[in-house]
Amino acid sequence: MPGLKHEKLCLPPVAGVDEAGRGPLAGPVVAAAVILPARNIPRGIDDSKKLSANERTRLATLIRERACVGVGIVEADEIDALNIYWATMKAMTLAVDQLAECLGASPGHILVDGNRLPRWDYAATAIVGGDAVSASIAAASIVAKHTRDTIMLAHHESYPHYGWASNKGYGCLAHRRALAEHGPSPLHRRSFAPVAQALLPL
Protein backbone atom coordinates (compact mmCIF):
# COMPACT_ATOMS: atom_id res chain seq x y z
CA MET A 1 0.00 0.00 0.00
CA PRO A 2 1.23 3.55 -0.66
CA GLY A 3 2.68 5.31 2.36
CA LEU A 4 4.06 8.68 3.41
CA LYS A 5 7.79 7.95 3.15
CA HIS A 6 8.29 10.35 0.24
CA GLU A 7 6.10 13.03 1.79
CA LYS A 8 8.15 13.01 4.99
CA LEU A 9 11.33 13.84 3.04
CA CYS A 10 9.84 17.04 1.59
CA LEU A 11 9.04 20.54 2.80
CA PRO A 12 5.37 20.57 3.84
CA PRO A 13 2.67 20.90 2.83
CA VAL A 14 3.26 18.18 0.25
CA ALA A 15 0.88 17.66 -2.68
CA GLY A 16 0.52 14.54 -4.77
CA VAL A 17 -0.41 14.92 -8.45
CA ASP A 18 -1.67 12.35 -10.93
CA GLU A 19 -3.76 12.25 -14.10
CA ALA A 20 -6.39 10.10 -15.75
CA GLY A 21 -7.30 9.83 -19.39
CA ARG A 22 -4.17 10.05 -21.51
CA GLY A 23 -5.10 7.09 -23.67
CA PRO A 24 -8.84 7.32 -24.49
CA LEU A 25 -10.15 8.28 -27.91
CA ALA A 26 -12.75 10.62 -26.41
CA GLY A 27 -13.26 12.94 -23.48
CA PRO A 28 -10.93 15.09 -21.41
CA VAL A 29 -7.68 14.44 -19.64
CA VAL A 30 -8.11 15.13 -15.92
CA ALA A 31 -5.45 15.79 -13.29
CA ALA A 32 -5.83 16.08 -9.54
CA ALA A 33 -3.59 17.52 -6.84
CA VAL A 34 -4.11 16.47 -3.22
CA ILE A 35 -2.63 17.51 0.11
CA LEU A 36 -3.67 14.90 2.64
CA PRO A 37 -4.58 15.96 6.19
CA ALA A 38 -2.10 15.42 9.00
CA ARG A 39 -4.70 13.24 10.75
CA ASN A 40 -7.73 11.22 9.77
CA ILE A 41 -6.41 10.16 6.37
CA PRO A 42 -9.04 7.96 4.71
CA ARG A 43 -8.22 4.27 4.96
CA GLY A 44 -7.79 2.19 1.84
CA ILE A 45 -6.06 4.76 -0.38
CA ASP A 46 -4.28 2.93 -3.19
CA ASP A 47 -3.46 3.20 -6.87
CA SER A 48 -6.85 3.92 -8.48
CA LYS A 49 -6.34 1.11 -11.00
CA LYS A 50 -6.37 -1.42 -8.15
CA LEU A 51 -9.71 -0.24 -6.75
CA SER A 52 -13.27 -0.98 -7.78
CA ALA A 53 -15.48 1.85 -9.04
CA ASN A 54 -17.41 1.75 -5.75
CA GLU A 55 -14.22 2.03 -3.72
CA ARG A 56 -12.99 4.93 -5.85
CA THR A 57 -16.30 6.73 -5.35
CA ARG A 58 -16.18 6.20 -1.58
CA LEU A 59 -12.58 7.31 -1.28
CA ALA A 60 -12.91 10.26 -3.66
CA THR A 61 -15.74 11.58 -1.49
CA LEU A 62 -13.73 11.16 1.72
CA ILE A 63 -10.62 12.71 0.18
CA ARG A 64 -12.58 15.77 -0.94
CA GLU A 65 -14.11 16.08 2.53
CA ARG A 66 -10.85 15.79 4.47
CA ALA A 67 -8.06 16.94 2.15
CA CYS A 68 -7.16 20.01 0.13
CA VAL A 69 -7.92 19.15 -3.50
CA GLY A 70 -7.44 20.78 -6.89
CA VAL A 71 -8.65 19.42 -10.23
CA GLY A 72 -7.59 20.40 -13.75
CA ILE A 73 -9.56 19.41 -16.86
CA VAL A 74 -8.46 19.80 -20.49
CA GLU A 75 -11.09 18.97 -23.10
CA ALA A 76 -10.68 17.05 -26.35
CA ASP A 77 -10.44 20.08 -28.64
CA GLU A 78 -7.56 21.48 -26.60
CA ILE A 79 -5.89 18.05 -26.51
CA ASP A 80 -5.97 18.16 -30.32
CA ALA A 81 -4.49 21.67 -30.33
CA LEU A 82 -1.73 20.99 -27.80
CA ASN A 83 -1.15 17.20 -28.18
CA ILE A 84 -1.84 14.83 -25.29
CA TYR A 85 1.51 15.33 -23.56
CA TRP A 86 1.18 19.10 -23.24
CA ALA A 87 -2.53 18.82 -22.47
CA THR A 88 -1.64 16.56 -19.55
CA MET A 89 0.98 19.02 -18.34
CA LYS A 90 -1.64 21.80 -18.54
CA ALA A 91 -4.19 19.73 -16.60
CA MET A 92 -1.61 19.16 -13.85
CA THR A 93 -0.79 22.86 -13.73
CA LEU A 94 -4.48 23.79 -13.49
CA ALA A 95 -4.93 21.26 -10.68
CA VAL A 96 -2.02 22.66 -8.66
CA ASP A 97 -3.15 26.26 -9.27
CA GLN A 98 -6.60 25.35 -7.92
CA LEU A 99 -4.98 23.56 -4.99
CA ALA A 100 -2.97 26.68 -4.17
CA GLU A 101 -6.22 28.68 -4.09
CA CYS A 102 -7.73 26.11 -1.69
CA LEU A 103 -4.60 26.21 0.45
CA GLY A 104 -4.19 29.96 0.31
CA ALA A 105 -0.49 29.47 -0.47
CA SER A 106 1.81 27.43 -2.69
CA PRO A 107 2.52 23.86 -1.62
CA GLY A 108 5.94 23.27 -0.12
CA HIS A 109 6.68 20.41 -2.47
CA ILE A 110 4.84 18.45 -5.17
CA LEU A 111 5.18 14.73 -5.90
CA VAL A 112 4.15 13.87 -9.47
CA ASP A 113 3.44 10.41 -10.84
CA GLY A 114 5.64 9.67 -13.85
CA ASN A 115 9.02 10.74 -15.15
CA ARG A 116 8.31 14.28 -16.36
CA LEU A 117 7.30 17.51 -14.65
CA PRO A 118 5.30 20.45 -16.01
CA ARG A 119 7.13 23.71 -16.58
CA TRP A 120 6.32 25.37 -13.28
CA ASP A 121 8.16 27.17 -10.50
CA TYR A 122 7.08 24.81 -7.70
CA ALA A 123 9.59 22.53 -6.00
CA ALA A 124 8.66 19.10 -7.34
CA THR A 125 9.80 15.52 -7.77
CA ALA A 126 8.70 13.04 -10.43
CA ILE A 127 8.26 9.46 -9.20
CA VAL A 128 7.79 6.62 -11.66
CA GLY A 129 5.04 4.40 -10.30
CA GLY A 130 4.31 7.05 -7.69
CA ASP A 131 0.70 5.99 -7.22
CA ALA A 132 1.99 2.69 -5.79
CA VAL A 133 4.35 4.25 -3.23
CA SER A 134 3.02 7.70 -2.31
CA ALA A 135 -0.30 8.07 -0.52
CA SER A 136 -0.68 11.64 -1.78
CA ILE A 137 -0.19 10.62 -5.40
CA ALA A 138 -2.51 7.63 -4.94
CA ALA A 139 -5.17 9.96 -3.51
CA ALA A 140 -4.75 12.23 -6.54
CA SER A 141 -5.09 9.23 -8.85
CA ILE A 142 -8.39 8.33 -7.18
CA VAL A 143 -9.82 11.84 -7.49
CA ALA A 144 -8.66 12.19 -11.10
CA LYS A 145 -10.03 8.81 -12.18
CA HIS A 146 -13.36 9.26 -10.35
CA THR A 147 -13.80 12.77 -11.76
CA ARG A 148 -13.11 11.66 -15.32
CA ASP A 149 -15.34 8.57 -15.04
CA THR A 150 -18.18 10.76 -13.78
CA ILE A 151 -17.74 13.10 -16.75
CA MET A 152 -17.82 10.20 -19.23
CA LEU A 153 -20.90 8.68 -17.59
CA ALA A 154 -22.68 12.00 -18.05
CA HIS A 155 -21.60 12.20 -21.71
CA HIS A 156 -22.87 8.65 -22.26
CA GLU A 157 -26.40 10.01 -21.88
CA SER A 158 -25.91 12.16 -24.99
CA TYR A 159 -23.89 9.63 -27.01
CA PRO A 160 -25.00 6.16 -25.83
CA HIS A 161 -23.92 4.27 -28.97
CA TYR A 162 -20.21 4.62 -28.09
CA GLY A 163 -20.62 2.69 -24.83
CA TRP A 164 -18.85 5.25 -22.65
CA ALA A 165 -20.71 4.04 -19.58
CA SER A 166 -18.48 0.96 -19.69
CA ASN A 167 -15.39 1.93 -21.71
CA LYS A 168 -15.06 5.58 -20.52
CA GLY A 169 -13.84 6.58 -23.97
CA TYR A 170 -11.03 4.03 -24.30
CA GLY A 171 -10.62 2.40 -27.69
CA CYS A 172 -12.09 -1.03 -27.04
CA LEU A 173 -13.50 -3.01 -29.97
CA ALA A 174 -17.11 -1.96 -29.36
CA HIS A 175 -16.11 1.71 -29.23
CA ARG A 176 -14.08 1.44 -32.43
CA ARG A 177 -16.95 -0.27 -34.21
CA ALA A 178 -19.35 2.47 -33.10
CA LEU A 179 -16.83 5.06 -34.27
CA ALA A 180 -16.70 3.43 -37.70
CA GLU A 181 -20.49 3.27 -37.90
CA HIS A 182 -21.46 6.66 -36.50
CA GLY A 183 -18.32 8.72 -37.01
CA PRO A 184 -16.73 10.82 -34.26
CA SER A 185 -18.69 12.91 -31.77
CA PRO A 186 -17.68 16.44 -30.72
CA LEU A 187 -15.95 14.81 -27.74
CA HIS A 188 -13.62 12.62 -29.79
CA ARG A 189 -9.93 13.46 -30.06
CA ARG A 190 -9.45 14.02 -33.77
CA SER A 191 -5.65 13.96 -33.49
CA PHE A 192 -5.77 10.31 -32.35
CA ALA A 193 -5.26 7.89 -35.24
CA PRO A 194 -8.44 5.75 -34.91
CA VAL A 195 -10.58 8.92 -34.81
CA ALA A 196 -8.70 10.52 -37.71
CA GLN A 197 -9.18 7.37 -39.75
CA ALA A 198 -12.93 7.44 -39.06
CA LEU A 199 -13.02 10.92 -40.63
CA LEU A 200 -11.52 9.75 -43.91
CA PRO A 201 -13.93 9.43 -46.85
CA LEU A 202 -14.86 5.90 -47.83
pTM of the entire predicted model: 0.96
Residue 201 pLDDT greater than 80, yes or no: no
The SS3 assignment for 30 reads strand
C-beta of residue 106 within 8 angstroms of C-beta of residue 99: no
pLDDT band at 102 (very low <50, low <70, confident <90, very high): confident
pLDDT at 202: 47
User: With respect to CATH, is domain 5-157 assigned 3.30.420.10?
Assistant: yes
Residue 19 marked in a binding site:
yes
On the question of pLDDT at 114 being above 60, the answer is yes
* 18 annotated ligand-binding residue: yes
- CB pairs under 8 A, 24+ apart, for 37-42? 37/66, 37/67, 40/66, 41/66, 41/135, 42/66, 42/139
Asked if 48 and 60 touch (Cβ cutoff 8 Å), the reply is no
What is the rounded average pLDDT of the residues 51-63?
98
